[in-house]
């Protein structure tokens, strides 16, 4: 009978055998947080939830899970980038504790893809693509492959708490408030730095290193990660443009008055 370890080897994911428990635990915790939000959130914001209809309450709970994951994984990604031992071999290096961080995110992305497909009519195809890209990038880390540079993709989540806060403020009736303006500025700043500046620079460094040892990297790895990297880079630029337009619509008069003053 084929053991789980043998299955991992046959799929060329040898290190997954040491971390599948974390993946499963993360998936379960995402589901628990999602269900807990169904109970806790309406108690905390009864006036807001009484006006929710259709997909809105579900979307609230999805944002809660997203917020918890993004905070945890943002800290974890920074720790990975600061790992001196892993930095010595940025393409094929392996670190057990770093793989555990990836496993937490892997469990979340499995949950996220399921939810995105289930509610695709509301979330759109871009969220499905985002979830699949995260799924693929982390799956490759169990080969192991780009355990160091994969943290750049996780660092994208640093802007997610601010994005979710902006969404929550809208639903709480604080649209156009000073706190939303401050959060919006932080959102734009963190998003631009983490996803555009650092993301594009580190992606360039990754491909430089891969090219230097291209004979050691399977073509399938290059194609799979290349597509995922290109898709996320395009989405980051697209979403950044949408956020700029969003802020301009929310604060047009205040921005104009501020310039005059």
In this predicted structure, which of 5-9, 100-104, 203-207, 250-254 has the lowest mean pLDDT?
250-254
More confident residue, 31 or 243: 31
User: 118 and 70 in contact (C-beta within 8 Å)?
Assistant: no
Overall average pLDDT of the 9-33 stretch:
94
DSSP, res 145: -
Overall average pLDDT of the 5-26 stretch:
91
Overall average pLDDT of the 81-109 stretch:
92
HEC string for 149-203 = CHHHHHHHHHHHHHHHHHHHHHHCCCCCCHHHHHHHHHHHHHHHHHHHHHHHHHH
pLDDT > 90 fraction of the chain, expressed in percent and rounded: 54
> What predicted TM-score, i.e. pTM, was given to this entire model?
0.86
Helix 56-81 with 160-171: angle, nearest 10 deg = 160
């Amino acid at each position: 009978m084929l053991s789980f370890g043998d299955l991992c080897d046959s799929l060329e994911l040898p290190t997954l055998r040491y971390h599948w428990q974390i993946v499963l635990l993360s998936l379960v915790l995402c589901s628990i947080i999602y269900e807990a939000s169904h109970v806790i959130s309406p108690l905390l914001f009864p006036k807001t939830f009484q006006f929710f209809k259709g997909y809105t309450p579900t979307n609230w709970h999805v944002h809660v899970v997203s917020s918890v994951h993004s905070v945890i994984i943002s800290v974890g990604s920074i720790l990975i980038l600061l790992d001196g031992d892993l930095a010595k071999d940025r393409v094929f290096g392996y670190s057990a504790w770093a793989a555990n961080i990836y496993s937490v995110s892997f469990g979340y992305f499995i949950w996220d893809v399921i939810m995105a497909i289930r509610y695709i009519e509301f979330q759109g195809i871009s969220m499905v693509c985002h979830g699949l890209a995260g799924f693929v990038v982390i799956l490759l880390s169990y080969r192991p492959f780009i355990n160091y540079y994969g943290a750049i993709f996780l660092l994208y989540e640093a802007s997610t708490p601010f994005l979710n806060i902006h969404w929550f403020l809208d639903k709480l009736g604080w649209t156009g408030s000073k706190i939303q303006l401050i959060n919006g500025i932080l959102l734009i700043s963190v998003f631009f730095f983490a996803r555009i500046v650092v993301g594009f620079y580190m992606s360039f460094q990754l491909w430089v290193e891969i090219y230097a040892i291209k004979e050691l990297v399977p073509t399938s790895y290059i194609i799979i990660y290349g597509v995922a990297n290109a898709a996320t880079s395009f989405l980051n630029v697209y979403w950044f443009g949408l956020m700029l337009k969003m802020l301009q619509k929310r604060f047009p008069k205040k921005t104009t008055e501020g310039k005059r003053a």
